[in-house]
A and B are shown apart, each in its own frame.
Chain A
């Protein structure tokens, strides 16, 4: 098991390296006149050259990448070209906002999708039909459109929730939950409809397995078969579904934060993208990849623990 984890961790680091290199070269190779962009059209050629020197843009690309890597290893991700704020600092102040929201939404998705999906698989009938229709509706309306609709109706028209959710540390838990509930709901609706549908399929697939019939023939009760055998076998598929949703949510949350004016990764990423503030963009990509790698590692470990083939060997 330890070797298995070490191997997974190793391949995660390789992925991190590959993605960082790809992103770095993609970003810096294609933006020809970075210094000109920053200084604007009024700047003289001299000023541009000076700026390029200042940013290290006169160095060869490969050596700049290695400088970036060695800096990054010591926790220095560079500074924004426009605000001069160290990227690491911006990330550190914004990641907690985003991650609380993502994890709150994921936990709720996991609970709701699992309950609804299992109920649909076991009971079939109307629960099943509701899940099917819900999945189609959820697939048809993108998450950010749901967010926009929720804000327009619940916050602006009906005034039930605040339209913008800024978290003040002094506001207290009640106010915080109240202000965060709308963005979290916007984040989780697609996750619940899609997740319930996929968990339903995973459970039905297990219920149709031969060994379930054999367990029944041995006199084992339905409840024990469901909770001990079927759900356990369906769990890896469910975990994969949830991990893919979490990866997707790292993108979706950017738009949701923009809609609700939340001081998370979203506004940072959008502003940096619009201005081609490359060190910040690079930092955002790195944070995303690290989260994805950690999540995948956790899923792998959980699956390994659930699956004796991995656990034993």
Chain B
């Protein structure tokens, strides 16, 4: 318990690179702890450690000098003196392999070091100050990125002669954009965060802001990048040496490969050792990078799930007081298939890495009738959206129905005992009888297709009408949702319209096939305050005119008060209270509902007017 909360804090620090200097150290320690739990990560670190040790101790371990040649004993098979045999010049393969490791690792480090020294500061400056420096460096980056590494190294070799160090410095410069871009992106995402502004206002210098806040963000990605770059550097340097363009006086794996390939008909095992050494080293680096990335991403995943499910400290869980009210809800449901939707004891969960299932919705029951607007209210993570997506059958792939049932118009879409939503049953209903209004208008339209196309196609598929007919209907729908110039909007791409207009388009799409039930997931949250009121009006008008059932998911009691007939309050995946809107607003039974109401309508009359209530909601 103690451990898990600590981990939650740490992972939160990974995902939202938090303000304090300490968070950085916490991040690193947990990432490393997670890395040590990953068998591949341990294997990778083991391989790299062994190779590094061998390289470090090469002068001690190697029985011969790297260039000592026993001409009397060429291409010899392994024996007690030359444990891996000798090459065509009578040099000891094992000794050369060890010295090769030394040079290979050092050159990879040099390359990564040069790339960091150039890319990191440039990325920090470009990300933090933007402006001309960023434009200029972007241009340089685009040139560097368009040059094939090996061709550049050939040019450098032609100009400066054979030197591992010069070619690795050149390659470091060439590959520095990868650090530049990584740092710049990270800095840009942090730059405008509030806590950086706060640091600036509180008088910290730019330098210490960068050092404290931004450096802790980019540190882990840089380690991952370095593992990848070291691998690429080893590969390309060996390639150069394989071509016979390296320094012939130095034993490297590339030179050894080249030498082995020349004698491939005589002794192919000469190829085997350097190839194995290279594959092990690069493979170790690749695996280490992957394991580190997994360790970082796992942190974010756990954090997401926690956000969706786990009670946050400070809110009052109401296990004992909630139970009676849930019972009363279940009683209302009993034996009524005339309900449009009936959700009974629904439980939704996500399988965890350790085999357990994390419940995000637990024992939730309610119903919706035709012509009725039901509000589902709760804070983020209360399970309200998960409940809505269960009805739509649009839960993520890894979600499981762990309990309960859902019925739509007298038929089960989730029968008792089902593990998943039946896509077979729901695909016949979706679009046609159940439809959906999403939260964020812009991201819910495909940017590559016109608005008209995205309205017309579902009607053609679902209603089986002709394109011409669908087009006429789409234009009328656009007029119905209050768009002044429907023809222009019809032909526009999503990026050419405003957020409010896009939300109207999505509402038009939701009602285009005359559904019986519309599920609206926070339909106004992403909109400007002035537009919010219009969209709510629109939903109310359409609902009245078409006499459809609506499930309105929201965190905003103002919206509920304005629009809903009945309301369901959810907390931590459980249903806390259910009843007619007026009753609950005037006389909330549960502490949690009162807290929720109090936090939103503080100092106001419960039934506020439309405009001030929505603006209140947006402000809170």
Q: Which residues of A contact B (CB under 8 A)?
A: 15, 18-19, 23, 26-27, 29-31, 124, 136-137, 139-142, 144-145, 148-149, 151-152, 156-157, 209-211, 213-221, 224, 229, 232-233, 244, 247-252, 254-255, 258-259, 269-270, 272-274, 276-278, 281, 284-285, 288-289, 292-293, 296, 306-309, 312
Contacts and interface: CB of A to CB of B under 8 A. Distances in A.
B160 A145 contact: no
Nearest to A210: B443
A251 B148 contact: yes
B278 A145 contact: yes
Contacts of B235: 142
Of B154, B445, B513, the most chain A CB neighbours within 10 A belong to: B154
Contacts of A220: 431, 457-458, 461
B286 A140 contact: yes
B154 A229 contact: no
Interface of B: 142-143, 145-151, 154-161, 231, 235-236, 238-239, 242-245, 257, 261, 264-265, 268, 271, 275, 278-279, 282-283, 286-287, 290, 392, 394, 397, 427, 430-432, 434-436, 438, 440, 443-450, 457-458, 461-462, 493, 495-496, 506, 509-510, 513
A15 B146 contact: yes
| Overall SS of chain B's interface | helix
A139 B290 CA distance: 11
Contacts of A277: 158
Contacts of A258: 242-243
Nearest to B395: A213
30 contacts: A141-B279, A142-B239, A142-B278, A144-B242, A148-B257, A148-B275, A149-B275, A152-B264, A211-B444, A213-B394, A213-B436, A214-B438, A214-B445, A216-B430, A218-B430, A218-B435, A218-B513, A219-B432, A220-B461, A232-B448, A249-B148, A251-B148, A255-B239, A270-B154, A270-B245, A272-B158, A274-B244, A289-B147, A308-B450, A309-B493
A210 B150 contact: no
A136 B280 CA distance: 12
Given A248-B148, A292-B146, A308-B495, 18 more contacts: A27-B158, A31-B159, A140-B279, A140-B286, A148-B261, A157-B268, A211-B447, A213-B394, A217-B431, A233-B446, A233-B448, A255-B150, A292-B147, A307-B447, A308-B450, A308-B493, A312-B493, A312-B496
A27 B436 contact: no
Contacts of A214: 436, 438, 444-445, 506, 509
Given A139-B286, A219-B461, A288 B148 contact: yes
List the 7 shortest-distance A-B pairs measured between CB atoms, nearest first: A219-B431, A251-B150, A140-B283, A217-B436, A142-B235, A251-B148, A218-B458
Contact of A252 (B142, B150, B445, B506): B150
Contacts of B261: 148, 259
B97 to A, nearest CB: 15
A274 B145 CA distance: 25
A81 to B, nearest CB: 12
Nearest to A247: B148
Contacts of A296: 146
Contacts of A251: 148-151, 236, 239
A309 B147 contact: no
Contacts of B449: 229
A219 B427 contact: yes
Nearest to B393: A216
Given A148-B275, A309-B495, A269 B149 contact: no
A152 B271 contact: yes
Contacts of B148: 247-251, 288, 292
Contacts of B435: 217-218
Contacts of A210: 438, 440, 443-444
A281 B458 contact: no
Nearest to B281: A140
Contact of B443 (A137, A156, A211, A288): A211
A124 B200 CA distance: 46
A75 B221 CA distance: 46
B146 A219 contact: no
Nearest to B253: A145
Nearest to B455: A218
Contacts of B445: 211, 214
A217 B454 CA distance: 12
Nearest to B162: A274
A273 B461 CA distance: 62
B264 A142 contact: no
Contacts of B156: 26
Contacts of B243: 254-255, 258, 270
Contacts of A278: 158
A308 B432 contact: no
B398 to A, nearest CB: 10
A244 B147 CA distance: 10
Contacts of A31: 158-159
A281 B443 contact: no
Nearest to A306: B448
Nearest to A246: B148
B105 to A, nearest CB: 16
A276 B158 contact: yes
B244 A270 contact: yes
